[in-house]
Each structure stands twice: as C-alpha cells, then as structure tokens.
C-alpha cells in the first residue's frame, strides 16, 4: 500500500562508517605510537585497544599476550637494522657495523630496548638479523659454540646500552645535566680516602671519561670482538684476516 500523503516517510538511517578490519599490523602500529609517545610502561593491551577504538578481547584474536606484543615491537624495529653480506676479510668491522646499526635503531625507537630485555627475539626480521650476524661470525672462522653464545652476548650489550640511555632520556636530563653529573662523579672519586681507594682516586678522570658520545660503546665493541677474534684457531686466521 502506498503511504498516505499525510503520513511522512521515516527518514533514511545514515550508513554506518565501515571500520578498517583489525589485524596484527594495525595493533603493532598503535602499540609503537604509544611506545614512542608515552614510553614502554604505557604500553598495555587495554591501552592499545583503546587507541584502536575496540576492546582488549578483540586484540587477543591476533596477539596472544603482552609478551608477544613486545616481540612484535622488537621485530618491527629490527626491520631497520642494516644486514651486510658476510665478507671474511671484513668480518670484525661488519660485526661492529651491525651493532652500531642496532643501537641506532633502538635510539630511534626509545622503549624497544626495554621490550627486548629478557626476550629471545624470534620474529622474522629479528631472525634475519641473527642469521646475518651468525654468517659474519662463521665467515671469520669463529668456532661454532663461541659464535652461538656470542649472538646472545652481543645483542645483550647493545640492548643494555640502549636501555640505559632510554632511562636517562626519560629523566629529562639535558646535556648540561649530564655534564654536571659526570663532574660530580669525578669529584666524588677524587675525594675518596686515598689510603683506602688509591687506584680509584688515581683514575678518577679515566673512570668518568667518555660519558658523552660513543667512546665507551666503541670500547665495548672492540673488547668483545677482539675477544672473539682471539678464539679463531691460529690455522684459520690467515683465511679470515682482521680488519686493520
């Protein structure tokens, strides 16, 4: 039956906007934004769900728990690590370059180091990084067990440096604050009783040197990689010459 001329038609309901389907990529995008804007401690499944205008239960269909979310954040950052093709003649410098690249990535993504602490990175991009580093170690003829243990040690060193920097950064320290702190530490060491701490007093300047910049980080790289190079059997060292 046609409506009477005195019966107004009901207004057409506006169409609901189509939601972008939820997926793992969008979840990691949202989590990374929170990480960079508010820090690691702010990242939770509930907060990520709020950022995506959904409930936490929706996230669990794509990400099992907070631990897996941490893995995904680390893996997202690992995509930017430069992966060289292993060169036996440059293996030591290539390892240093990979570690420098990893530190650069962690500095660009404050909070990722905290997500990585205590984790074994198992994501695809993180595994690409591990594979590349193992290939470099084996190109340098580093023994199998030393190469395997070195992966954990090298990653832990870079992550610890980046984590310490992120903690300091979260404190809002300026360069002047850092300089003042270093000067205070130097004065403290120098003022200790020389009869009880003679070496510490004598090395007060050396103990606080290199606090600004990457001198200490580079020192650590040299110590770690020189130690690995010393483990290469003598008969294999000609096949894998060290970088001058």
Matching residue, tokens 């000067």: 183
7: pLDDT confidence band, cut at 50, 70 and 90? low
User: Can you say how many angstroms the Cα of residue 7 is from the centroid of all Cα atoms in its chain?
Assistant: 67
* CATH number where 40 lies: 1.10.10.60
Show the domain range for 44. Answer: 24-63
* Range of weakest confidence among 146-150, 167-171, 180-184, 206-210: 167-171
Q: Which CA distances in Å does 95 have to 14, 119, 164, 202, 228?
A: 59, 21, 22, 34, 11
CATH of the domain at 221: 1.10.357.10
pLDDT of 162 above 80: yes
Is residue 14 a part of any domain in this protein? no
Kindly state the tokens that stand for 73: 């954040």
Is there a contact between 36 and 110 (Cβ–Cβ < 8 Å)?
Answer: yes
What is the pTM assigned to this prediction?
0.83
Say how many Å lie between the first and final Cα of the chain, rounded. Answer: 94
Which SS3 state, helix, strand or coil, does residue 35 take?
Answer: helix
Residues 139 and 36 in one domain: no
Angle (CA) 109-113-115 rounded to 5° is 100
Q: In this predicted model, what pLDDT tens digit does every residue of 179-218 receive, in sequence order?
A: 898 999 999 999 999 999 999 999 999 999 987 779 999 9
Query: Does residue 137 lie within any of the structural domains?
Result: yes
């Amino acid at each position: 039956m046609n409506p009477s001329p005195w019966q107004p038609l009901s207004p057409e309901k506006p169409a609901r906007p189509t939601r972008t389907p939820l997926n793992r990529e969008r979840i990691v995008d949202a989590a990374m934004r929170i990480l960079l804007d508010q820090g690691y401690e702010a990242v939770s499944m509930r907060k990520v769900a709020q950022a995506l205008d959904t409930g936490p239960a929706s996230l669990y269909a794509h990400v099992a728990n907070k631990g897996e979310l941490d893995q995904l954040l680390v893996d997202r950052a690992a995509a930017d690590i430069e992966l060289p093709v292993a060169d036996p003649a440059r293996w030591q410098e290539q390892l240093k370059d990979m570690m420098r690249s990893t530190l650069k990535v962690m500095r660009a993504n404050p909070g990722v180091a905290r997500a990585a602490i205590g984790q074994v990175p198992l994501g695809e991009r993180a595994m690409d990084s591990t594979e590349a580093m193992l290939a470099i170690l084996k190109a340098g003829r580093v023994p199998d067990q030393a190469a395997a243990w070195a992966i954990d040690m090298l990653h832990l060193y870079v992550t610890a440096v980046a984590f310490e920097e992120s903690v300091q950064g979260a404190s809002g320290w300026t360069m002047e604050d850092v300089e003042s702190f270093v000067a205070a530490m130097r004065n403290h060491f120098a003022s200790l009783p020389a009869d009880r701490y003679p070496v510490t007093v004598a090395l007060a300047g050396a103990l606080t040197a290199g606090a600004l910049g990457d001198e200490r980080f580079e020192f650590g790289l040299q110590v770690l990689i020189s130690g690995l190079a010393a483990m290469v059997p003598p008969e294999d060292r000609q096949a894998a010459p060290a970088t001058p």
